[in-house]
Structure 1
């Protein structure tokens, strides 16, 4: 009976609470409406600029994604253009501030200058990257220089400028182009067949010749820490596929990875077009020489006033801008189209505060000096209506070690009247000595082991391509790292001068002459010119004994007889090796010493030389990597020396 009662109660409850469509007179249920509108336009009330995004058509129908930032109330204002593969929407253009100067802060924006002078700022994704259409080609060469099409960066720049002067009503029809690194390459290539409205170009640390000394190689030695950059740039339009190694220390990652080719294959890079080109062209063949931008611009009319900006401690592109200057300056003796700035910076430091680099005190904010006293009047002269002529010297050069700016008529020089440097040989001497006196005969040797290459930094060595949050923040300034720790290695030879009694100024390109032998059939040679501080340094005690690199470079021995054709070395025979170091403008102060270091690896920035000649080092096998005994020969005036461009 109790069970029947409970069952009846359950049935009654079910009847009460079970919904019945027939008896439910409520309105039909609907999902809550979305609280996100179909379209929303953020308010820019109170902003001192207006931001527009447009798709600019090129002559072949491809459109290029472009961000245009116009100051409020702009009228007859010059346009400052940057073209980039790094993303126009995000590269320093963040709507997190109503103020133009704050919104523009970022990698490639002289934000203070733009805000001060009210330029219209334009940043554009280059063809094939991020929001732009078309196909991406790394450093797409000009038409006729390894480019069989009728489209190049110059035509895209021409079409972009043509659209801007017709469709940006606030402009005065004058356009300047500016950029750093890859963007500096774009600024340089804009001077080839330029649009008439292009009035000025400012290439800063531009990529000019990727084999001779910019991003990909340095005189034959492959910069393998650029592999993640190549992967990032070429693996996707949006550069959004991360490079993953599982190592904190790149030294371990690259050593265990094998050859650079092995590392690329392990990451599937055979599918990447530019990687295929690198592996196929390890020598300076026509693929490289035909697209070397310094050679190309030397054949073009000089119609666009150009300010080249060089960083003396540029860890990425310390070759190209000086190569362009050497190519163009003889064609502009009246200084009407070409200017040069040499600053005490790392790569891309020009838009930041720059009173120090690494441990080195520069005595003033050199970045601000450049922007306000040099760049600002230079741009105004060409981009503003009725602006006064800029009082800019043909060469504006900061002297490291003395911490002063000099206004010069040409480069290299040490004074406005043309005090040209005199090349002076400094010889390696017995017992680790160094000086202008030619030594007696002799030799020094060391064993170079590819299994234990010389690191280029104190370990752990992090990849420069890591995100800022993960990266060792000192990486961009590694070219001023204290070098004395490497003198403790048995595979590094160190030569030091006596203490200087007088200042020693150097301005220009130091030149290396090695008389060297190896038991192998190939070899790399790394030479470093270093300023050694006094053991005790009252001005900054922490700098006591600091070994400051002034100029350092690597040379791959197989190219001793010509960069286009690699040849094996003759084992055990002393051979001549000649190559320049990067540009310097430095004073070794009294009480300091001059040091030279010589070694045969610089790892993992550069790939290891197997020290056994193979046709293509990208494809070297583990058995090709062998120890070699290296001999540096002293032989009077015909031995090993470094030629310094000494100023007086």
Structure 2
């Protein structure tokens, strides 16, 4: 009987033991949240310390700031960038190495030993306060007691007192809007701000930077307005009914109508811009070049921009020229590289169809820009002093250095000729005509066009102009094949005499290098029409940028305007070409060619065809004035 009970006793004992084994001890019991009150990640594996602070401004508003300090830092300088584009994205969390945590443009700075500081400007992303697009300085347009000049001053004051690993010296850098924040800091620089580099800064949004070019509105910025001003963080682009922005904006009629359809009446900056289509006090009081010359800074400054900058080609050189005219060339340097907008901060082995000998941006940052900053932040003089001016020569694929700029103050007319010719001699009187139809505007890129296509947008200035050269509403003139080089150093001027059957109109002038039919080194460049300088001018401003006037129909008028700066050689075997047209759509809004008070709100019936007659010779000697030098003035 005992044998029969044994299995039962064993089973009972095992069940009891199992029950004891399943009884939880204290370490098994869930008493609270699995998320600790404050998590502190181990930092031993990192070669830097990442700090996030809220820096107080003089009015009590606090600005979100990310500070990246290398481990063991002592007496290191600080590199400050103030941005509306999210400081968190400039210094991401997670990577163990500082150079991996920052943007590619800052890796050389990390390698060289810098404390890197990124700050959200007032009212954007992590910062408190109210955001105002390129906030005007304290004065008639800003009745508060703060602006981006005071915010930069207060930030640097805090950094020098609270970042103990620093040597209390600060350099500022930034591109585009961030370049604008640098210029604002230079209006009244903190004593600790020792050096600065505004890269492609927004200097005058009406004359030639982002918003307008000589009065023609750049519609590509409408998405930027919604992205920047619809939210504290990143807003979205406006949804499209189709994939072609050429057709989308053509269907909208006007920029004002497009904006109204998409709720832009809620956006303060759009409302102010649309109410001021001319160069009145609203724009004049925000022109940075005028601000800088009113109170020139003594901070050593490098003004940087790209030769094919599709967004801010106007600002850097305009500010530098204004300061030079005020006798401040000694502490201001000009650099123009073979780059699109902000490509100085990216890889730059090539630009569109053009190929260089290495990465022109990375090499420049390492060999020129950082040594320039080190001179004033580390007392480390470069082996070779920085030249007053450095401008890349795309034809020769080399940097040229100059003691002064431009290479010449004399401009040589290149005259339009009969039979689509160009020559340095004046031509007999005559005219060439074309019909400009607002219903069929000349595209700035071959449709379909998408403003969101980064590759096409960043290189549109270099696109082959053969795409429009044979249109009947584009006039193309070219020289015979060159037998000797023609070297340009400076800013060309368009000087067009024309009459129109309308009462308003735009003029687009392009200076083009026509490549030989066959290029052995790069066959795809055979016959390529490369625009090296081009711009648009709104005819109503031919007499005054502030006070537009109707164009008298059928009466010859002069349209004279500056084209972007060049340092270029037209080589033997090439031709020089000039193209003239009346639209570049949808980048620029359409001119109705009927004078109306505000083109943003033109009516459908205002858009009319017009016959444009460009004059040649005699009293109407249309030309492009070229800064020709007999030989390069570059330093040897």
Counterpart of 1:422 in 2: which secondary structure?
Answer: coil
Q: Structure 1 residues 594, 197: CA separation in 2 closer, same or farther (over 3 Å shift)? A: same
| Structure with the higher helix share, 1 or 2 | 2
Cα distance in 2 for residues equivalent to 1:357 and 1:451: 33
- List aligned pairs for 1:241-390, cutoff 5 A: 241-332=236-327, 335-385=329-379
Measure, in 2, the Cα distance between the counterparts of 1:505 and 1:368: 28
Partner SS state of residue 163, structure 1 = helix
On the 8 A contact 1:421/1:507 being kept in 2, the answer is no
Contact 1:421 1:646 in 2 (8 A): no
Q: Confirm or deny: 8 A CA contact 1:339 1:394 kept in the other structure.
A: yes
Aligned to 2:15: none
TM-score between both structures, scaled by the size of structure 2: 0.92
2:456 and 2:436 map into 1 onto residues whose CA distance is: 28
8 A Cα contact 2:411 2:628, kept in partner: yes
Greater CA drift, 195-204 or 144-153: 144-153
- Corresponding position: 1:498 with 2:498: no
Q: How does 1:456-535 map to 2 (within 5 A)?
A: 456-463=444-451, 466=452, 471-535=453-517
1:606 corresponds in structure 2 to: 588
Cα deviation, residue 103, structure 1 = 1.5
Cα distance, 1:637 vs structure 2:
6.6
Retained in 2: the 8 A contact 1:422–1:645?
yes
**For 2:141 and 2:298, how far apart are their aligned partners in 1?**
24
Rounded Cα–Cα distance in structure 2 between residues aligned with 1:269 and 1:180 = 27
Tell me if the contact between 2:226 and 2:235 (Cα under 8 Å) persists in the aligned partners: no
- CA shift for structure 1 position 591: 0.6
SS of corresponding position for 1:474:
helix
Kept in 2, the 8 Å contact 1:69–1:120? The answer is yes
Shift of 1:640: 0.7
Residue-by-residue CA offset, 1:305-351 (whole Å, 9 max, x unaligned):
11100211000001111110111013346x53111111111000012
Q: Please report how far the alpha carbon of residue 372 of structure 1 lies from its aligned counterpart in structure 2 after TM superposition.
A: 1.8
Matched, 1:442 2:430: yes
Shift of 1:423: 1.2
Q: Distance in 1 between matches of 2:231 and 2:384?
A: 43
Instruction: Provide, for residues 383-420 of structure 1, a one-character-per-residue CA deviation record: whole Å limited to 9, x for no partner.
Output: 1155568611111111121111122111112xxxxxx3
1:9 equivalent in structure 2: none
Could you tell me whether the CA contact under 8 Å between 2:91 and 2:103 is conserved in 1? yes
Match of 2:97 in 1: 99
Name the SS of the counterpart of 1:437 in structure 2: coil
Aligned match of 2:50: 51
Pairwise CA RMSD of aligned residues?
A: 1.9
- Among residues 126, 138, 143, which one is paired with 1:143 in the alignment? 138
Residue 66 of structure 1 aligns to a residue in which SS?
A: strand
Please give the alpha-carbon distance, in whole angstroms, between the structure 1 residues aligned to 2:165 and 2:150.
Answer: 24
Query: Paired residue for 1:180?
Result: 175
Contact 1:247–1:253 (Cα < 8 Å) also in 2: yes
Structure 2 CA distance for partners of 1:526 and 1:32, relative to 1, 3 Å? farther
Q: Which residue of 2 aligns with 1:410?
A: 404
Q: 1:115 aligned to 2:113?
A: no
Alignment check: 8 A CA contact 1:438 1:637 kept: no
Matches within 5 A, 1:535-546: 535-546=517-528
Gaps of 5+ in 1: 1-25, 414-419
Counterparts of 2:31 and 2:575, CA distance in 1: 78
Aligned residues: 606
Q: Deviations over 1:529-552 (max 9, x none)?
A: 000100111111111001111001
Distance 1:364 1:588, change over 3 A: farther
Q: Which residue of 1 aligns with 2:125?
A: 130
| Equivalent of residue 541 in structure 2, options 524, 537, 559 | 559
State the distance in 2 between where 1:387 and 1:427 align: 48
8 Å CA contact retained: 1:309, 1:340 = yes
**How far apart, in 1, do the equivalents of 2:384 and 2:369 lie?**
9
* Matched-pair contact (CA < 8 Å) for 1:381–1:389: no
Separation in 1, partners of 2:207, 2:83 = 23
**Are 1:222 and 2:217 matched, yes or no?**
yes
Asked if the contact 1:381–1:390 (Cα under 8 Å) also holds between the matched residues in 2, the reply is: no
Measure the CA separation in 2 of the matches of 1:154 and 1:171: 22
Q: Deviations over 1:444-471 (max 9, x none)?
A: 11111111100000111111xx3xxxx3
* DSSP 3-state at the match of 2:344: coil
What residue in structure 1 maps to residue 162 of structure 2?
A: 167
Does 2:560 match 1:578?
A: yes
1:240 to 235, 238, 244: 235
Q: Provide the secondary structure at the position in 2 that maps to 1:136.
A: coil
Runs (5+) with no aligned partner, structure 2: 1-23, 631-636
Q: Which region of structure 1 is more displaced relative to structure 2, 637-646 or 172-181?
A: 637-646
Further displaced range: 582-591 or 421-430:
421-430
SS in 2 for 1:563: coil
Distance in 2 (CA, whole Å) between partners of 1:262 and 1:629 is 26
Aligned positions of 1:394-409 closer than 5 A? 394-409=388-403
Of the structure 1 ranges 74-83 and 230-239, higher mean CA displacement relative to structure 2 is found in 230-239
Shift of 1:622: 0.9
State how far apart, in whole Å, the 2-side matches of 1:338 and 1:531 are.
Answer: 31
